[in-house]
Amino acid sequence: MRGKKWLCVTTFAAVTLLSTAALAEMPKYVFFFVGDGMSSAQIQATEAYLTIKNGGKTTEAKDLLKEENRLNMSKLPVQGMQTTYDAHSLMTDSASAGTAFACGIKTMSGVIGMDDTKTISYKSIAQLAEEKGKRIGLISSVSLDHATPASFYASVPSRGDMNTIAKQMAASGYDFFGGGGLAASEADAIKTQMKGGGYTILNDRESILALKKDPKSKVVAINPFLQDAAAMPYAIDRPQTNLSLAEMTEVAIASLVTRKKDGKKGWMAKDEGFFLMVEGGKIDWACHANDAMATIGDTMDFDDAVGVALDFYRAYPSQTLIVVTGDHETGGMTVGHATTGYSAYYDRLLDQTSSFQAFGLNEWKAHYDANKVGYSWTAPNNLESSSEMIGLMKSVFGLEWASLNEYQKEKLEDAYDKSMSGQNDNKTDENKLLYGGYEPIIVTITHILNERASIGWTSYSHTGVPVPVFAIGADAKRFAGFYDNTDIAKQMACSMGIWQQLPVVKTAAVQ
């Protein structure tokens, strides 16, 4: 931490001198929440949306400050800020950021659990906590072999090597995995390997929720419907058959809290508690696509999971630590836009009923398939002439054609031509700026809807802004101030009584 030294005892002799009060402050139960792609703008935009949804006004501070319009995380008493850059870039990716959180070391983008030379592997704080007897759980709304969860069990030179990552997941021996599935191409074989290693793999709502009353050792709980890349659907699209992040967190707590670590004897047989990491991974994906409502929905879903941890904290306040942060900001999201000045109109977001992803897979696909043959991009007013597409914009996004200005209509016409035929009258660089790698008509709809609400975007990638940190509970004071993302791993390790100095080298990982 800049300007302040952290206290973390690192020798056995020093440990014996710790006061009873200091030992009592060490948390038994540690929650670490990572909102992937989430920074201050995502949090403020979500609170502004909640204010409107709950009948308040974004023009009134008294409304914005009401308890029901604030997120659980932003109300936590200890608050800090962390820098997110990695070893060689101001804009980190989730692999290097996850490695900073898990191992306490800077590395390069794409690398998990290793240094920037890709030659030395490190133990994560989850692995170190597991060695002390803590039960370990990992939850993510994206695939369980994705960069952030992988940082807590894997060491690989490339986050793209998902088969190796998933094999290391199988070999981890951790107690609970939940949320998305496996994106690895060898997923079926690896699941079979996990079953052979004593894991129970569950894939339906009823059997997963049953763990709350009948917890099992070594569980992989995968939601039945996965939307894309083995990830949970966006919260705005979630079917009733799926579990939310909050529900999955409840299941994880029940699975972790009551059991002693298997096979431990002597002093290690005592209950050492647990470490649970929960990632809201699709906040990031929604921000990449510049879809504010998908972002807000997943931020609320993530914060509901924080609320579950807070309920647990209230039952065990002296034994629980909760830390909440993001790994980086995504999309360059801003609260405000050039076209709206100092005003905000979040009520214009209320009628969006699905994410860009669900719309693209369903309504848009059907419309495209039905109208692509014979389409001529040179014809005037193709979009305006399509009552079906005008109706979809209204019914799915609440965007009414008649309310748009001429410039907005022109942008939508160009985007529609590009999506329908692959061509329009824009220059290549203009299309790259306007659409990134996303479906032109869909990203243009969300851009216009968002700017009308007073939300702006500057990127389809990650940005380098610092990210807030929130904490409550035993030893939470460690997380106040302004510090680096690697300090979060070091301070959580200290809080869990891990006396090795991070980063801790580990032996060869599973290949």
Note the pLDDT tens digit of each residue in 434-466.
Answer: 999 999 999 999 999 999 999 999 999 999 999
Average pLDDT over residues 27-54: 98
Partners of 462 in beta bridges: 330
Residues 265 and 370 occupy one common structural domain? no
Q: Are residues 209 and 330 in the same domain?
A: yes
Q: Provide the pLDDT for residue 25.
A: 75
CA quadruple 502, 38, 476, 212: dihedral sign: negative
What Rg do the C-alpha atoms of the chain give, in angstroms?
Answer: 24
Q: Say yes or no: 183 and 277 in one domain.
A: yes
Q: Which structural domain, as residue segments, surrounds residue 406?
A: 351-453
The 3-state DSSP composition of the chain as helix, strand, coil percent (nearest 5) reads: 45, 15, 40
Residue 129 confidence (pLDDT) above 50: yes
Q: Of 411, 431, 453, at which residue does a domain stop? A: 453
409 contacts 416 by C-beta, under 8 angstroms = no
Does residue 1 sit within a domain? Answer: no
Residue 327 belongs to some domain of the structure: yes
pLDDT in tens, 269-327: 578 999 999 999 999 999 999 999 999 999 999 999 999 999 999 999 999 999 999 99
Examine the domain organization and report whether 421 and 492 are in the same domain: no
pLDDT for the residue 495: 97
Find how far residue 152's CA is from the centre of its chain: 14
Examine the domain organization and report whether 138 and 109 are in the same domain. yes
CATH number at residue 90: 3.40.720.10
Residue 261 above 60 pLDDT?
Answer: no
Q: What is the pLDDT of residue 36?
A: 98
Q: Are residues 377 and 328 in the same domain?
A: no
* Same-domain check for residues 296 and 358: no
pLDDT digits (tens, 9 = 90+) for 43-81: 999 999 999 999 999 999 999 999 999 999 999 999 999
For residue 18, is pLDDT > 60? no
What pLDDT is stored for residue 23 in this prediction? 57
CA dist., res. 281 & res. 140, Å (int): 6
One domain, residues 121 and 267? yes
pTM of the model: 0.94
Q: pLDDT band at residue 8, thresholds of 50, 70 and 90?
A: low
Q: Domains in the chain: how many in total?
A: 2
Residue that terminates a domain, selected from 433, 453, 473: 453
- So what's the pLDDT on residue 481? 98
Do both 436 and 478 map to the same domain? no
pLDDT for 22 equals 53
